[in-house]
Amino acid sequence: MDVRAAVAFEAGQPLSIETVQLEGPRAGEVLVEIKATGLCHTDKYTLSGADPEGMFPAILGHEGAGVVVEVGEGVSTLKPGDHVIPLYTPECRQCKSCLSRKTNLCTAIRSTQGKGVMPDGSSRFSFKGRPVLHYMGCSTFANYTVLPEIALAKVRADAPFDKICYIGCGVTTGIGAVLFTAKVEPGSTVTVFGLGGIGLNVIQGARMVGAGRIIGVDINPAREAMARRFGMTDFVNPRDLGPDGDVVGHIVELTGGGADFSFECVGNPTLMRQALESSHRGWGVSTIIGVAAAGQEISTRPFQLVTGRRWIGSAFGGARGRTDVPTIVDWYMDGKINIDDLITHHLPLDRINEGFDLMARGESIRSVVVY
């Protein structure tokens, strides 16, 4: 079938709106009509060329919501008409990782996903007779896409697509990192580096679990008002600390010794170090969420860890997609979490590049493309 898609032909170039061809679902696969998709910083990162798994041409996008149109042979848990959220972290419930109960990082299809193909090694998308790659197993920058059954969370039918698409990445990543990965305790002091689409959800998660003090760090002063609305109690703009500003010292002083929990939501190794070193001696837990470019590395004095700080990471908020995503949709529908205020822009597909420009200028939190 013909589908409308924003195609990434080359790294560093704007997306190109094209009619591409999509094959139907094979065994274990599902054809989904994507109704809405968010633009995450990770899409921008891959498009920039800094992602070692970034391959072109590809159809990016991994923060979608839509409706099942057709199921392939053997699919038993989904049927046409079901409302779904694509999962870049699938949940097969059978692999070593799923069975371990220690991680959400299902390994069933990770290797083919990283190569931009379906589990059988081929792509369903093509343009002018040549294959176009999938991205993160989702490719939500197309109005129809094909995914494995294990990479779809079935969600309630009354939830609005243009809001719950954000649960496909940013909301779950931020709130999940607090609840499932770091397991922030009530009364804790929390520091959040980067107050964008992920960091603001970390703040909202921290408020949900009853954190006592929530300190936000961002170089964009426009982030302060929104972050306060979501529960931030203190704002630090490193640029206000002067050219030699000591962010770590400032936070340690502000918190009387360091934060109980810190989160890096930018993808900057310097901030990752600051987040760790400004967490509390003896028990501080610092969670890396941000994705740093190929070739970048983190460093700290081992003494920081010897003296009791712990450095951990979180992918998709530690959430098990098919199990946890429907619950997070319920939280939204029950008014327990706020998504609406974080979606600052709605765009049609043919203006998707404007969404990335807004992100680059720090003018949007989340832009959502509505098909």
Residues at the interface with ligand NAD (CB under 6 A): 40-42, 45, 169-170, 173, 193-199, 217-220, 223, 238, 265-268, 271, 289-291, 314-316, 359, 362
Nearer to Zn ion by Cβ, of 9 and 45: the residue is: 45
Residue (71 or 169) nearer to ligand AHE, CB:
169
> Which positions ≥6 away from 202 have C-beta within 8 Å?
174, 175, 177, 178, 190, 192, 263, 265, 289
The verdict on whether 366 is a catalytic residue reads: yes
Shortest Cβ distance from residue 42 to ligand AHE (Å)? Answer: 3
Task: Between 188 and 314, name the residue whose CB sits nearer to ligand NAD.
Answer: 314
Using rule CB under 6 A, residue 200 touches ligand AHE: no
Residue 212, number of CB atoms within 10 A of its CB:
13
98 is catalytic: yes
Cα 120 to Cα 109: distance, rounded to the nearest angstrom: 10
Is residue 277 flagged as an active site residue?
no
Beta carbon of residue 138, minimum distance to Zn ion (angstroms, whole number): 10
Nearer to ligand NAD among residue 3 and residue 289 (C-beta): 289
| 181 makes contact with ligand AHE (CB under 6 A) | no
Length of the chain: 371
Please identify which residue in 36, 150, 169, 195 interacts with ligand AHE, judged by CB under 6 A.
Answer: 169
- Cα separation, 109 vs 134, in Å, equals 13
Which listed residue (15, 32, 40, 58) binds ligand AHE by CB under 6 A? 40
* Beta carbons of 252 and 236 less than 8 angstroms apart: no
Is residue 52 a contact residue for ligand AHE (CB under 6 A)? yes
Is residue 18 annotated as part of the catalytic site, yes or no? no
- Residue 314 has phi, psi (to 5 degrees) of -145, 130
User: Of these partners, Zn ion, ligand NAD, ligand AHE, none, which one is at the site of residue 194 (CB under 5 to 8 Å by kind)?
Assistant: ligand NAD
- Give the C-alpha separation, 371 to 368, whole Å: 10
94 or 307, CB closer to ligand AHE?
Answer: 94
Give whole-number Cα distances, 312 to 102, 213, 274, 286, in Å.
14, 21, 14, 6
Residues 149-178 that bind Zn ion (CB under 5 A): 169
Other beta carbons within 10 Å of 224: 17
List the end-to-end C-alpha distance of the chain, in Å, as a whole number: 17
Q: Are the C-beta atoms of residues 251 and 273 closer than 8 Å to each other?
A: no
Q: Considering 18, 29, 41, 213, which one is annotated as catalytic?
A: 41
Cα 370 → chain centroid:
18
Q: Which amino acid is at 332?
A: Y
Residue 354 neighbours by CB under 8 Å, 6+ apart: 347, 367
Using CB distances below 5 to 8 A depending on partner kind, what does residue 278 bind out of ligand NAD, ligand AHE, Zn ion, none? Answer: none
Residues 31-50 that bind Zn ion (CB under 5 A): 40, 42
Residues β-bridged to residue 30:
71, 147
Round to whole Å and give the CA distance between 73 and 80.
13
Does 92 participate in catalysis according to the annotation?
A: yes
Q: How far, in Å, are 107, 262, 294 from residue 347 at the CA level?
A: 34, 33, 30
Candidates 37, 62, 124, 181; catalytic one: 62
Tell me which of 315, 339, 365, 368 binds ligand AHE, using CB under 6 A. Answer: 315
**Looking at beta carbons only, is 64 or 290 nearer to ligand NAD?**
290
40 counts as catalytic: yes
Pick what 52 binds: Zn ion, ligand NAD, ligand AHE, none; C-beta below 5 to 8 Å, kind-dependent. Answer: ligand AHE
Give the catalytic positions in this structure. 40-42, 62-63, 92, 95, 98, 106, 110, 169, 366
Which residues sit at the interface with ligand AHE, rule CB under 6 A? 40, 42, 51-53, 89, 105, 110, 169, 291, 315-316
Which residues sit at the interface with Zn ion, rule CB under 5 A? 40, 42, 169
